[in-house]
Amino acid sequence: MSEYRRESSARAVCRYGRVFFNLRRHFQLTSGEALLADVIDTLSRKTGWSFASKRYLASTLGVSERSLQRMLDKLVESGLVERKRGRRGIELRVTERWSAARATDGPARSSQTA
């Protein structure tokens, strides 16, 4: 099963994402914020930066553009996502802090469960 599917317009559409619960708790993120970080990570793997519009990211997550902006602001303030203005508009990527934490994230141990 593929992570993406093609619609009739031939644009890739995200079908599912991963929520790293240990990271969500560690960084005190909502599930939506953790999912947004993962979507940005996935979209930026090929070129290093994600060029997805706020409209696309909001529709992918099923939230308003304003809610997406608040989630994005929190991720940037937390040092988990970088943003810059590029030729294509706003460009996003996860920071080394997110990548390193994700790489070491394993299944929750019994001492970590609430």
Q: Domain range holding 45?
A: 4-104
User: Is 113 inside a domain boundary?
Assistant: no
Q: pLDDT value at position 86?
A: 77
User: Is 50 inside a domain boundary?
Assistant: yes
User: Is 52 inside a domain boundary?
Assistant: yes
User: Is 114 inside a domain boundary?
Assistant: no
Q: How many domains does the chain have?
A: 1
- Predicted TM-score (pTM) of the model is 0.75
The series of mean pLDDT values per 10 residues for the chain, 114 residues long, is 43 61 88 91 89 91 94 95 85 92 64 46
> For residues 16 and 60, is the Cβ–Cβ distance under 8 A?
no
Q: CA separation (Å) from 75 to 49, 64, 100?
A: 15, 17, 15
State the CATH number of the domain containing residue 22: 1.10.10.10
User: Is 76 inside a domain boundary?
Assistant: yes
